Structure 1
Amino acid sequence: MKLHFRARSQGDGLSRTTDRGLPAASVVGRIPSLKEPLLDGGRLFWLEQRPHEQGRSTLMVRPTSSGPTGSKSGLGDGAIELSPNSWNLRSRVHEYGGGVFAVKGQDLVVIHDGDRCPHHLRLDPVSGAPQGDFRRLVAPADRAFADGLIDPGRRRWLGVMEAGGIDQLVAIPLAGGEPQLLHQPADFCGYPALSPDGRHLAWVTWQQPAMPWQRSQLWLAELDGDGQLGEAQAIAGAGPDGPEAISVFQPLWITPAGGPPELVFSSDVSGWWNLQRFRPGSPQGEVLLTMEAEFGMPQWVYGMRTTAWDGSQLIAATCHQGEWQLGRLDLAPERVGTPAAWQPIEQPFNDLAALSAEGGRLVCVASNPSSPSGLLELEISSGQWQHRPVAPNPLPAEAISPPEALWFAGFDDQPTHAWYYPPTSGASANAPLLVKSHSGPTAMARTGLNLAIQFWTSRGWGVVDVNYGGSTGFGRAYRQRLDGQWGVVDVADCAAAARALVAAAKADPQRIAIEGGSAGGFTTLAALCFSDVFRAGACRYGVADLGALAADSHRFEAHYLDSLVGPWPAAKDTYLARSPLQHADEMSCPVIFFQGLDDRVVPAEQTEQMAAALKAKGIAVEVHLFAGEGHGFKQSSTQIKVLEATEAFFAKHFAPPAGANAP
């Protein structure tokens, strides 16, 4: 078997690890997550999800400034926290939410999780400081809101309302009042985009059983004098009965060369999420750029952005071979009707998300193998940049294990990708190996500094983060490898990655563990049942019973398993054949489980039943249940407990090889 490795560069660090390795409290529990940065009127807004504050999300703002180039620690220079200390900004639309704030000029609207309602606040146009208090715009009811924008000319918020088992595009006056229906889709909708002149609205729809990254449609309608939508026109993508399965991503309005507004979006009609554009009044759109790279992502949450318009130029992030890069698209008038030119922007970050631009400046969430996640601010014309990490890097450069690109023969001998992190002490045939199976299952293994991975490499472990078939970032055909094969392709690819590293004398075959959460938790359990590679596993809120998931899943994913496994209940035999709960007797190695008691995506019963079945067989099992946690752990105490308990569990069950010390 031929293996290909490529090392990534390292960078500066700060403090050092302990003799035992990087402490869990330095890895998780204190470091906020950054989401949805947005430039508006010379101000920079962003969300912080704070595990040390029970996982609540709050909104920050500060005036932008060019400042010195290079890396700068600290996000809060002149920053103001806009949401009250008791508030958690979160949307419950489709359970996963996203898109929880909208701002334009002096108007800010946020979604407060306490009542699930939008609230309005007036802001100072320069500093972003609040002028007055938040006002709730609608009365609390059994409904949820998300993914809104400000319609400044009509003084209203436009966005998605989920109520009665269906989505609606609605308008809410900024003065307050009940939602006014703009559009009733057949099923799901979102990603509204209002043209700069306020005359047109674009949005995306999709219908079950499809997920939005499988088959979705882009719509456009003109707004009349009363702000109501005229006749809607489907301009891209595929409806439920279309001959092709086409997905569209992130409609964005641009005004090239001061001309009339045009709509830019990503479509995977070519097999890759590539950029297209549409001019209102035109019979059809045109290809803007064609690359074997992805300008889109699976739309699990609202608020994802890979393109940004600063008023005169279009900037995009694209994923190629598992790494992200920034570039500018040449939209010069003489290029109308021909593909745009792609001009890479040199900067040192290859894990990028949530782009926003204004007046020659760009901001996004960014990291690389040696730099923690932070806000990257870029002057587009000069290329000067400033990176503000969300927290100091606790590792010196020599203590960081950089990822190496690993290509190996996966399921059906197809080329499959992973990132391998050698132990900081050096790879060897005696090193224990942790295989990571990501969630989604459409997510991707990224290259940004992941301290949870460094936790293991600092303790003598190798880690392989597998982009198994079904992962994003490698084109539609790579994603579709998992169609009908969940629990087969992902399991085979994770096992093949481990075998490849054993064959390369980089892992001890008797000390290979696998871990994952959610869909990755299912892959973990299935791998322990249906392969002979792994000697222990750690499962976080994982799926154990596919039939129960299909029968009880929430609305957004109610038919997702139709494509991953087969239609339920017609394919019941397949569900039984792949469900770890039905094959607990085939598992023979220890497993540790972590489960939130408030999980509505994968209920706690699945974990409890799987653990009970293994215990009945006499297999060593640990179960940790967490009150107040849902699908994905947000509290610092929970995150620290999970990491420390996993390490202790593996150490307990993994004996070091003869003549070697334990990691």
Structure 2
Amino acid sequence: MSPKAAPYGTWHSPITSDAVVENAIRISSIFIDPLTSSVYHIEARPSEGGRCVIVDTNKGKDVFGPAWNARSRVQEYGGGAAIAYGGVVYFSNFGSLEVCVVDVEKGGEPVVVTPENKNHRFADFTVSPTHPNLLIAILEDHTHPSPSEVETSLVLINTSTRAVSPVVSGADFYASPRFSPDEKYLAWQQWWHPNMPWQGAEIYVAKVAVTSDGVEIWEKTLIGGVKGQVSAAYPFWISNETVIFTSDLSGYQNPWSYSTLTGKSVPVLPTPVEKDFSLPGWLLGESYSAVLEGKRVLYSVMQDGRAVLYVLDVKSGAITEVESPYVDISSTLKSTSSSVTSSFPPGIISIAQSITIKVPPNDDPVHVNYYPQTNPEYSGGVDGEKPPCVFGVHGGPTGMSNQVLSWSKQYFTSRGWAWADVNYGGSYGYGRKYIDRLQGEWGISEVRDCVLAAKHLSSSLNLIDPSRIFIRGGSSGGYTVLVAISDPPPGIPSEFKWTGATSLYGVSDLRRLGEDTHKFESQYLKGLIGGSYEEIPEVYKERSPTSHVDKIDTPLLILQGSEDAVVPPSQAELISHSLEERGKKVKYILFEGEGHGWRKAENIKTGLEAELSWYEDLIGVAKKTKM
């Protein structure tokens, strides 16, 4: 049948909300047993309430039963929830917060190996090569729950005696503890408030002696990073004497090496390259490299907003690109995307187009991933119309919208909607200078970037309908949405107006966020806003959307999880109640039991349908297309 013309936004699509949920199983982690070479992955299953299940990848078999959930709550975002060694899998159980062990070969139920303590959270494990009953892990102690009093350290877990003992403490945060192959050294990352790990983290190496029931650490050596200035990250060993890490001393995260024989750190590349060989550490346990034979390392590198595979020769510093069909490689050991295998008709997937615009006053670049409306059954719209478009604002704000397949976006594009993700100044993947553009400017520069991106796509490129544009974002992206519709910064054309907006667990009151959020981000605002609330209270008030509710005329949909510890429900309630009192067009949906995002199938479906319906109503689409 020949493609037919129909109004944009009314196209029928086989990508239903049920289909999105069915394809929403997310592989949150992949890890390999270094002794048996067995591969495991963790599946986050919406159909099971978002439970994270460890699967023996080759056998396609769950490692444990329905009573267990391999997920960490360290730094709230988690990561680093499991590790395998010698046929045994160790993992952090989300419900009890205890560390558990399961012998994969013998089978049976997991065994708890840490004391019962609802205040202790564990993640990012490394196993002793000579005494595999001993693990070093991050402990986040919430005995005193105030963010300023939560303590983070490296500890030793004796899985035989269920004892937990301190190893390294004193910094505000730790990540990536890693034994050398001969177990003579331990490497790790650490950093302090008010910095995030990508703003100035350090890598240390220390001598270590391990016995059957304990560990001793001495001669700590700083090998990379400068506190609060240069970020060093992701240490790993390629031999007994050499540890590799990345450092942004050049302005980009490039590889460095440290030798325990010489006691020196040196850049691996002969000259720096403008590519990031690692990304900001929002999650624990990440790995952007894998050791190959002959002192070579496979790296997933960010280049022009997409992932590229490189093989690095550590000895010569030569890098060779490896042909890869993938636009996003979250890690050489991890993938956050679902399978692209589907029964949908060929040609229905919208492929991202990279667009770079220049913004005044300095012609700074802003990067956009544009997804055109795509459905093989339709040839286009009617009467020369341009499609409506949703502009997505990523979280972080030190985050990035990559080009990985997202069925939620395809849900829109297959119905005749365009979609555009804005990687505003402050996004990662384009070097440290690009990230730092947001310092002191949050709520100003990224809002301007989003508006100018919308203007460019609608006016300069004539790709979308300027009278039917929507803005939506989650977390810090939700904050950007709320600022964009309440008090946009100077330089925004006076005639510009968003047709509608969606804030998913967005920030509305900056002062309260600083008081209520978790330890990891509790001082993040100092850099983003330009100081603490005590130092510049007027700026916090001025940049809070709750201070400008009277200016909001854009219809607003608010989606929020009831158990969100990153952006508490009070943030959503503050602005929704204020708008309701003023008779503004607002709709608030609270998802019970959900945190910072939706994990349950029914909530993923409800949220997606509610968002589409909200936009359809605002542009007057008479016929809903949820078939």
Q: Could you tell me how far 1:431 is from its partner in structure 2? A: 1.3
TM-score (norm 2): 0.89
Between the aligned partners of 1:32 and 1:353, the Cα distance in structure 2 is 16
Between the aligned partners of 2:56 and 2:616, the Cα distance in structure 1 is 44
Equivalent AA in structure 2 for residue 354 of structure 1: S
State the partner residue of 1:70: none
Question: Which residue of 258, 264, 281 corresponds with 1:278?
Answer: 258
8 Å CA contact retained: 1:655, 1:662? no
8 Å CA contact retained: 2:242, 2:259? yes
Q: Could you tell me how far 1:557 is from its partner in structure 2? A: 0.9
Q: Could you tell me how far 1:48 is from its partner in structure 2? A: 0.4
After superposition, what is the alpha-carbon deviation per residue over 1:134-184, rounded to whole angstroms, capped at 9, x for unaligned? 211111112111111111312301111111411111111121322111111
After superposition, what is the alpha-carbon deviation per residue over 1:73-114, rounded to whole angstroms, capped at 9, x for unaligned? xxxxx2221122121111111111110111111232111112
> Using a 3 Å threshold, how does the CA distance of structure 1 residues 280 and 535 change in structure 2: closer, same or farther?
same
Question: Which residue of 542, 546, 560 corresponds with 2:510?
Answer: 546
After superposition, what is the alpha-carbon deviation per residue over 1:387-425, rounded to whole angstroms, capped at 9, x for unaligned? xx3x63243332122111111123643111011111125
8 Å CA contact retained: 2:12, 2:415? no
Q: Could you tell me how far 1:122 is from its partner in structure 2? A: 2.2
SS in structure 2 opposite 1:229? strand
> Using a 3 Å threshold, how does the CA distance of structure 1 residues 201 and 426 change in structure 2: closer, same or farther?
farther
SS in structure 1 opposite 2:430? coil
Between the aligned partners of 1:611 and 1:158, the Cα distance in structure 2 is 45
State the partner residue of 1:572: 537
User: Taking every aligned residue pair, what percent have the same amino acid on both sides?
Assistant: 31
State the partner residue of 2:354: 405
Between the aligned partners of 2:60 and 2:416, the Cα distance in structure 1 is 40
Q: Could you tell me how far 1:661 is from its partner in structure 2? A: 9.5
State the partner residue of 2:63: 82
Q: Could you tell me how far 1:267 is from its partner in structure 2? A: 0.6
State the partner residue of 2:246: 266
State the partner residue of 2:453: 497
Equivalent AA in structure 2 for residue 494 of structure 1: C
Asked if residue 117 in structure 1 is aligned to residue 98 in structure 2, the reply is yes
Between the aligned partners of 1:426 and 1:530, the Cα distance in structure 2 is 36
State the partner residue of 2:147: none
8 Å CA contact retained: 2:32, 2:84? no
Question: Which residue of 150, 154, 163 corresponds with 2:127?
Answer: 150
Q: Could you tell me how far 1:239 is from its partner in structure 2? A: 2.1
State the partner residue of 1:437: 393
Q: Could you tell me how far 1:300 is from its partner in structure 2? A: 1.3
What do you get for the CA RMSD once the two structures are aligned?
2.0
Q: Which runs of 5+ in 1 are unaligned?
A: 1-16, 64-77, 125-129, 357-363, 367-372, 375-388
State the partner residue of 2:474: 517
Q: Could you tell me how far 1:617 is from its partner in structure 2? A: 2.3
Asked if residue 393 in structure 1 is aligned to residue 339 in structure 2, the reply is no
Between the aligned partners of 2:131 and 2:355, the Cα distance in structure 1 is 53
State the partner residue of 1:638: 603
State the partner residue of 2:297: 314
Q: Could you tell me how far 1:132 is from its partner in structure 2? A: 4.0
Between the aligned partners of 2:420 and 2:573, the Cα distance in structure 1 is 28
> Using a 3 Å threshold, how does the CA distance of structure 1 residues 354 and 493 change in structure 2: closer, same or farther?
same
Between the aligned partners of 1:23 and 1:131, the Cα distance in structure 2 is 39
Q: Could you tell me how far 1:272 is from its partner in structure 2? A: 0.3
Asked if residue 228 in structure 1 is aligned to residue 240 in structure 2, the reply is no
Q: Which runs of 5+ in 2 are unaligned?
A: 1-9, 144-149, 489-495
State the partner residue of 2:281: 299
State the partner residue of 2:416: 460
State the partner residue of 2:140: 162
Question: Which residue of 320, 324, 328 corresponds with 1:343?
Answer: 320
Q: Could you tell me how far 1:662 is from its partner in structure 2? A: 9.2
After superposition, what is the alpha-carbon deviation per residue over 1:457-481, rounded to whole angstroms, capped at 9, x for unaligned? 1111111101011101000000001
TM-score (norm 1): 0.85
8 Å CA contact retained: 1:212, 1:299? yes
After superposition, what is the alpha-carbon deviation per residue over 1:425-478, rounded to whole angstroms, capped at 9, x for unaligned? 559753111100001111111111111111111111111101011101000000
8 Å CA contact retained: 1:32, 1:50? yes
Equivalent AA in structure 1 for residue 457 of structure 2: L
Between the aligned partners of 1:626 and 1:341, the Cα distance in structure 2 is 51
State the partner residue of 2:201: 216
Between the aligned partners of 1:91 and 1:478, the Cα distance in structure 2 is 31
Asked if residue 190 in structure 1 is aligned to residue 175 in structure 2, the reply is yes
Between the aligned partners of 1:161 and 1:231, the Cα distance in structure 2 is 22
Provide the aligned length of Structure 1 versus Structure 2.
583
SS in structure 2 opposite 1:582? helix
State the partner residue of 1:383: none
Question: Which residue of 538, 546, 550 corresponds with 1:585?
Answer: 550
Question: Which residue of 329, 339, 354 corresponds with 1:352?
Answer: 329
Between the aligned partners of 1:392 and 1:303, the Cα distance in structure 2 is 27
Asked if residue 23 in structure 1 is aligned to residue 16 in structure 2, the reply is yes
> Using a 3 Å threshold, how does the CA distance of structure 1 residues 509 and 62 change in structure 2: closer, same or farther?
closer
SS in structure 2 opposite 1:645? helix
Q: Could you tell me how far 1:223 is from its partner in structure 2? A: 0.6
SS in structure 2 opposite 1:46? strand
State the partner residue of 2:368: 418
> Using a 3 Å threshold, how does the CA distance of structure 1 residues 148 and 225 change in structure 2: closer, same or farther?
closer
Between the aligned partners of 1:311 and 1:250, the Cα distance in structure 2 is 20
Q: Could you tell me how far 1:18 is from its partner in structure 2? A: 7.9
Q: Could you tell me how far 1:249 is from its partner in structure 2? A: 1.6
Asked if residue 247 in structure 1 is aligned to residue 212 in structure 2, the reply is no
8 Å CA contact retained: 2:392, 2:473? yes
Asked if residue 172 in structure 1 is aligned to residue 157 in structure 2, the reply is yes
State the partner residue of 1:67: none
Equivalent AA in structure 1 for residue 280 of structure 2: P
State the partner residue of 2:7: none
> What is the 5 A alignment of 1:9-88?
19-20=12-13, 22-28=15-21, 30-40=23-33, 41-63=36-58, 78-88=59-69
Between the aligned partners of 1:517 and 1:62, the Cα distance in structure 2 is 32
8 Å CA contact retained: 1:136, 1:176? no
> Using a 3 Å threshold, how does the CA distance of structure 1 residues 175 and 662 change in structure 2: closer, same or farther?
closer
Question: Which residue of 127, 130, 136 corresponds with 2:112?
Answer: 136
Q: Could you tell me how far 1:123 is from its partner in structure 2? A: 3.0
Equivalent AA in structure 2 for residue 296 of structure 1: S
SS in structure 2 opposite 1:397? coil
Between the aligned partners of 2:57 and 2:549, the Cα distance in structure 1 is 53
8 Å CA contact retained: 1:254, 1:311? no
8 Å CA contact retained: 2:373, 2:415? yes
SS in structure 2 opposite 1:196? coil
